[in-house]
Chain A
Amino acid sequence: MSFMKSFAAGTVAALMATAAYAECEIASGNVNVLANDFPALKAITSTAAECTGGVTIAANHNKDFRNFSVQALTPNPAEYTSVIVANSSIVPLLNEGLIRPLDDLVAKHGQNLGKNQLITIDGKIMAIAFMANAQHLFVRQDILDQVGKPVPTTWEEVVETGQSIRDAGIMDHPFAFLSMSDWNLGEEFVNMYLGHGGEFFKPGTAEPAINNEIGVATLNMLKELVSMSNPDFLTYNTATVVPIWKSGNLAIAQLWGSSGGELLGSEGSAEGVAENTVLAGAPTVAGGDTPSSTLWWDGFTIAKNISDEDAEATFIAMMHGTSDKMVEANNDAAVWLMDSYKPGPAAVGVAETATGGADPYPMLPYMGLLHQAIFEELPDFLQGNESAEKTLADIEAAYIAAAQEAGYL
């Protein structure tokens, strides 16, 4: 798999330790980057901003960037020359045709790009990926040792191990995942459903196909997991769970790989927590062999409604932002896709999940609507208000209403 090859190649590149990188000099142009707000992306934009010459470089990091990325790129000239996107947030930009094919720029300035970094759609390169992310397991080795259990590899084992920890009186709520009743909860359903080998839509159409035995099995597994979790589970996102983990009140959690660096560092952690934190791939479920997780990439795109000069300046600056120099300075900030990356302990979980064969998050124009319908209707089931079949029917009905309005059905 190309993903694993990049890890191997990264090690080789590290051994060769070539520090040669081109200094970045851009004669003129205007570069303005819109991106989500987390440290790995800031490392990229701040490195890109080192470019000198007549160019002006600015960046806007905003957690809500996807809410206005379409509006910001619609006018001509567009407000931003580049947006850093992920599998799902690229979709609205593609739907509206607001980003440009990058084939000519890649041919001119992108000789060092790995093939696995090129996001091609219908044969055209539309984005350059630079990092990977996935949700996977975090476990506390010391607590697993206390109950004499190995690191779980299936969700059934997670439930069993959680029960043992509870029975041993170590913790009442040993497990947590990102089950906040917003986008997060939808993502947990998507992960678990794909782990069961489910298909979201009838092939070749936008019609939903989740009201089946796989959907029921997915819901029942999620319900077993929330019973291991704190009753406040519907308010749990990364910002809530990470501090709980650090305080030592969790034994098993499914979190984003990008939290790995923080949880392995001892800053702000209770004694003995960081040293005993172990990262593992996402578990499989129901006897399947696909990890219950989705693979995500982050990459940069270039706006269509800008001058070719600005587009070229932006591409050069972003190539500098994602250069070996940036990777060397920020090696553990993310799981980088560049060859110079040396996978550290924080990358283990994402790498295992990827080599285990997890699916990428579906890059479909109507997936966002299904994702939203899922998290709107799922809490009713998890709180025990209605049956699995009723919830699945509600999800499909809510999705159909939204998809009809958006013109997909």
Chain B
Amino acid sequence: MKHRTFFWFILPSLAAMIFFIALPIVSVAVQSLFVEHEQIMVEVENCGPFNCETVLQVDNEATAALQEEAPLGRFNGLGTYTNRKHLALKEVGVAWDETETFGAFLSELINLPFYKALFFTLTYTAIVTPFVITLGLGVALAVNTLPQLLKGPTIFVSLLPMIVTPLIGALILFWMVDADGIIGATLQKIFNDPNLSMKASTPLTWIMLIVYGIWSSTPFSFIVFYAGLQTVPKETLEAAEIDGASRWQAIRYVVVPYMMPLVVFITLMQLMDNFRMLEPIVAFSASAKATSLSWLIFNDLRGGDVQLFGSAGATSILTILGVAILLTPVLIRTWRDFNRKRA
């Protein structure tokens, strides 16, 4: 394709990307460098149905004047990034100096909100991604061997977890694991422990979130692999069979190498999606046991009466950096393959 044609071809999507993705990210990055103006306070007497009291109140006029002067707020540089809600450089330094063992240092580190969220987010991503890929491939191979008549219905049923809205799917599971729900009550019966509660135990909550993540994402990788399987050349498979390859060997040495680009694609998508997980934590009310980076952003904007835009912006940028770091090895590999093929 001519460069000129290519440019016109891609222009609409490029424009949409710039307006709806690139510019908002720039604005978030700028916002994360600022904090709000100093609030000018005045003492006032407030009276309500119950009593009167003298309290501090924001002086609207003086604060409005400050805002007029510099609408973005006070420039804070990377101050928000290094404060306790984010990288917490000072607190990490103190913890490093004051703890004797590495284990004690880690537990101090996990006590800080950002590292606590990062720890869970990474664990979740590291477990869910490989499971989704192998399970998706397994389901695709199994469905592929079904007789034609059963394929349609099976594919539809396998896709259900992806069709159900994440929040609804998580809520359904949440009610099922309740002490009075079908899974919760059955587990109590099996282990003969009336106090067993999946919501109350941190490890069980983590397992529940991870199982939910695998359940809801597997259909995506299944359908991609299933589409890929339809294009695996029959001749190569037959040749392998004639050479005496078992079904397992045919999969290992013919199907999987052929599907490698799809594996890379799904890995990229899954790393990005899992690193940004949010809905299950909200639906499971699990924030006391597990928080993710996206949950921190959600909490800054929706947790209380005051919205912390700078803090939410800083966490967003750190999340983008995290995704970039995670994706780098996969991208480098793809780039090398691409160059090798061209050569």
Contact = CB atoms under 8 A, between A and B. Distances in A.
B213 interface: no
B217 to A, nearest CB: 24
B111 A372 contact: no
A407 B35 contact: yes
B56 interface: yes
A67 B113 CA distance: 23
A360 B51 contact: yes
B62 to A, nearest CB: 11
Interface in B40-86: 41-51, 53, 55-58, 60-61, 63-64, 73-74, 76, 80, 83-85
Contacts of B45: 120, 122-123
A120 B52 CA distance: 9
A364 B200 CA distance: 34
* Most chain A CB neighbours (cut-off 10 Å) among B56, B58, B195, B311: B58
B276 interface: no
Nearest to B309: A405
A405 B36 contact: yes
Contact of A119 (B48, B301, B304): B48
B219 interface: no
B195 A231 contact: yes
A397 B84 contact: yes
A182 B83 CA distance: 23
Interface string B271-304: 0000000000000010111000000000101111
Nearest to B61: A97
Interface string A224-246: 00000011111100000000000
A197 interface: no
Interface residues of A, number: 69
A403 to B, nearest CB: 9
B111 A386 contact: yes
A408 B43 CA distance: 14
Given A182-B287, A379-B288, A383-B288, A406 B48 contact: no
Contacts of B91: 397
A371 interface: yes
A252 interface: no
A383 B288 CA distance: 9
Contacts of A204: 43, 56
Interface in B217-243: none
Interface stretch (A53-61, A88-96, A306-314): A88-96
Nearest to A114: B49
A376 interface: yes
B60 A96 contact: yes
Contact of B306 (A2, A297, A406): A406
Contact of B49 (A89, A297, A368, A386): A297
Interface in A333-361: 337, 354, 360
Contacts of A386: 111
B57 to A, nearest CB: 7
Contacts of A371: 304-305
B49 A408 contact: no
Contacts of B305: 66, 88-89, 91-92, 368, 371
A402 B179 CA distance: 37
Interface in A343-401: 354, 360, 362-366, 368-369, 371-372, 376, 379-380, 383, 386, 394, 397-398, 400-401
Interface in A86-139: 87-89, 91-92, 94-97, 116-123, 129, 132
Contact of B46 (A117, A121, A379): A121
A406 B179 contact: no
A143 B35 CA distance: 54
A134 B285 CA distance: 24
A303 interface: no
Contacts of A2: 49-50
Contact of A206 (B56, B63, B194, B201): B56
B288 A369 contact: no
A164 interface: no
Given A232-B197, A401-B85, A181 B287 contact: yes
A295 B48 CA distance: 10
Contact of B47 (A67, A118, A232): A118
A271 B208 CA distance: 35
* Most chain A CB neighbours (cut-off 10 Å) among B37, B47, B195, B311: B47
Contact of A363 (B42, B46, B113, B304): B46
A183 to B, nearest CB: 7
Interface in B172-219: 178-179, 194-195, 197, 199-202
Contacts of A231: 195, 197, 199-201
Given A88-B305, A120-B47, A337-B49, A230 B179 contact: yes
A234 B251 CA distance: 47
B44 A407 contact: no
A18 interface: no
B342 to A, nearest CB: 49
Contacts of B195: 172, 231
Interface string A48-85: 00000000000000001011000000000000000000
B38 interface: yes
A180 B199 CA distance: 12
B169 interface: no
Given A230-B197, A401-B83, 8 more contacts: A2-B49, A94-B57, A231-B200, A232-B199, A362-B55, A363-B46, A376-B113, A406-B39
Interface of B: 35-39, 41-51, 53, 55-58, 60-61, 63-64, 73-74, 76, 80, 83-85, 91, 111, 113, 178-179, 194-195, 197, 199-202, 285, 287-289, 299, 301-306, 308, 310-311
19 contacts: A95-B39, A116-B49, A118-B47, A122-B46, A122-B57, A230-B197, A231-B197, A231-B200, A234-B288, A234-B289, A372-B304, A394-B111, A398-B85, A405-B35, A405-B310, A406-B306, A407-B37, A407-B73, A408-B39
